[in-house]
Chains A and B, each alone.
Chain A
Amino acid sequence: MHPAPSIIFFTVFSGLGFGMLAFLGLGKPDVSGFTAFIFFAIAYALAVGGLISSTFHLGNPQRALKAFSQWRTSWLSREGCLAVATLIVMGLYAIGVIFFNTRIGLLGLLGAILCVCTVLGTSMIYTQIKTVPRWHHWTTPLVFLSYALTGGAFLTGQVQVAAAGLVTIGVLQILAWVIGDKRFAGSGSTIESATGLGTIGKTRMFEAPHSAKNYLMKEMVHVVGRKHARNLRIIGLVLLSLLPWALLMFFPFSHLLALVAILAHIAGALTTRWLFFAEAEHTVGLYYGQRG
């Protein structure tokens, strides 16, 4: 699949923002007044910034409001509704914490649960896509959730939770890659099933339907970026999980060190999220003699 920067930013940063809001909703850290304002401002900037970024790849973003209407069937619509509900609930909670030094625990808890649901909603947009067997698996929601909660713990200064999350994230990401690499072959879709010509014999693409690339190939048959996939996986995993974990565990805590660890973690998350798209193979690639 085409790794569109707007979608990579959307999934990574809105995930971080909602992860952060989840911890703030649970009163971790228990802050109020101006300090609380700074925390909430960062969380909202990440969550809302990510959501706005997602509209950059739309053909007609002026009609984006219509996307809240089909929550009965569409995960994209559900994710939008959940995101707005979360931002409203956490907004009310934030007003209490910032201006009235009052923490309404139940409201915060509801907000935290909604944060988790929103991140799961984001992940389901990809998990539901059966045509991309790598995504259509239970590892996808787990990976998305672990990214959001680990990043959220990191940004709210929950060092112990973050350290545990960094290990979890590393294990889940490796698991997702190992399983994901076998998913397309396991889906049963081949050029023979795609064309129905397997009953005659081995099929191969003889001539493309057009002389240049088209939308389908640009969007769903992205093979160029996979050249360096193995190296990028290693770089991504080190930045995402190993390096920040080592910095948290083996060095005395300092704010500068924490900043370096967070930046490394985010750079790693952007790298692995790029791979999440670039390595995803779509069945339409079969018609072009290429596996998505």
Chain B
Amino acid sequence: MTTLPAQTEKKLGLVIDLDTCVGCHACVVSCKGWNTENYGAALSDQNAYGKDPSGTFLNRVHSYEVQPETGAAQTIHFPKSCLHCEDAPCVTVCPTGASYKRVEDGIVLVNESDCIGCGLCAWACPYGARELDQAEGVMKKCTLCVDRIYNENLPEEDRQPACVRTCPAGARHFGDLGDETSDVSQLVKERGGFDLMPEQGTKPVNKYLPPRPKDEQIDILAPLLEPVAAEPTGFLGWLDKTLEKL
């Protein structure tokens, strides 16, 4: 049923640290790998080795340049996937009931055998988190690796989303954002985690941590390398004067 639950028991989601992300795209690759080999229709590619390759991804890393009022511009890598919104507009527009938000953990999922591939949910999402697979004609989205996080066949350390498990920088964190005492909630509180496009009223569960302020002084050795003599003396002084005269 496409009616949203009034509240969910847990709010499972991701916290993404924009300060730590190095933009390596490992999360993109591991996500595509896991979600192609496991639950649901594979994430297909079209013309993968041709002139105009494209494909379905549940997670993509953008890069932005931010110019502060003073100082140098900063490059910020920005991974983006489904935010598992509390007030998910993608769910209520679904005409078939294929899209739903789980009461037990708040994960937004698509029942692929009910999806007619109308694409309306992708239109309703402000973030571009849903992509219609061009081979299967069904809507694909981040499942928060629902087939990993509860999977008792996997070693305990692997029971987290593939993107979190693979991130070499530790920029991605997974947990219950509905529990104020959880590690992820503490992290959001400490670092001032924020919502994307809050004005859209979607109440995203996933949070982003802002980049930390950059150090004013970039190189601690720089002051020691200042020129010791402003005016050349000796042979160089003679050369300088002679060349001036020419």
Q: What is A's interface to B at a CB cutoff of 8 Å?
A: 1, 57-61, 63-64, 66-70, 72-77, 80, 125, 128-132, 187-189, 191, 193-197, 199-216, 219-220, 282-284, 287-288
Contact = CB atoms under 8 A, between A and B. Distances in A.
Interface of B: 1-3, 18, 28, 52-57, 60-69, 73-76, 78, 80, 89, 91-98, 114-120, 122-128, 131-134, 136-139, 194-201, 208, 210-211
Nearest 5 CB-CB pairings of A with B: A59-B117, A59-B137, A284-B128, A209-B60, A77-B95
Contacts of A220: 122-123, 128
Given A63-B114, A204-B67, 5 more contacts: A188-B199, A196-B195, A196-B196, A207-B62, A215-B56
Given A129-B123, A201-B69, A61 B134 contact: no
B200 A59 contact: no
Nearest to B80: A287
Contact of B200 (A75, A210, A283, A287): A283
B55 A214 contact: yes
A282 B116 contact: no
A174 B63 CA distance: 39
B102 to A, nearest CB: 16
Contact of B93 (A75, A201, A203, A284): A75
Contacts of B1: 70, 72
A207 B79 CA distance: 12
B116 A74 contact: no
Task: Label chain B's interface by main secondary structure.
Answer: loop
21 contacts: A58-B137, A60-B137, A63-B96, A66-B95, A66-B114, A67-B96, A74-B93, A76-B95, A76-B118, A129-B123, A196-B210, A201-B73, A203-B65, A206-B65, A207-B63, A212-B53, A212-B54, A213-B52, A214-B60, A215-B131, A284-B128
Contacts, number: 203
B93 A131 contact: no
A130 B131 contact: no
Nearest to B134: A215
Given A194-B197, A287-B62, A216 B97 contact: no
A77 B114 CA distance: 14
Contacts of B3: 72-73
Given A60-B117, A76-B120, A189-B126, A202 B200 contact: no
Nearest to B123: A129
Contacts of B65: 203-206
Contact of B64 (A59, A73, A74, A206): A206
Contacts of B63: 205-207, 209
Contact of A196 (B95, B133, B136, B194): B194
Nearest to B125: A131
Contact of A189 (B95, B123, B195, B197): B197
B116 A63 contact: yes
A219 B122 contact: yes
Contact of A74 (B18, B52, B95, B138): B95
A202 B66 contact: yes
Nearest to B75: A206
A203 B66 contact: yes
Contact of B210 (A125, A129, A199): A199
A189 B197 CA distance: 7
Contacts of A199: 210
Contact of A58 (B73, B118, B128, B194): B118
A191 B67 CA distance: 13
A180 B63 CA distance: 30
B116 A66 contact: yes
Contacts of B197: 189, 193-194, 283
B125 to A, nearest CB: 7
A215 B124 contact: no
Nearest to A285: B128
Contacts of B125: 131, 284
Contacts of B94: 70, 73-74
Contacts of B52: 212-213
B96 A1 contact: no
Contacts of A200: 66, 68, 74, 210-211
Contacts of B195: 196
A283 B123 CA distance: 10
Nearest to A210: B60
Contact of A193 (B93, B199, B210, B211): B199
A253 B88 CA distance: 54
A195 B124 contact: no
Nearest to A135: B123
Contacts of A191: 64
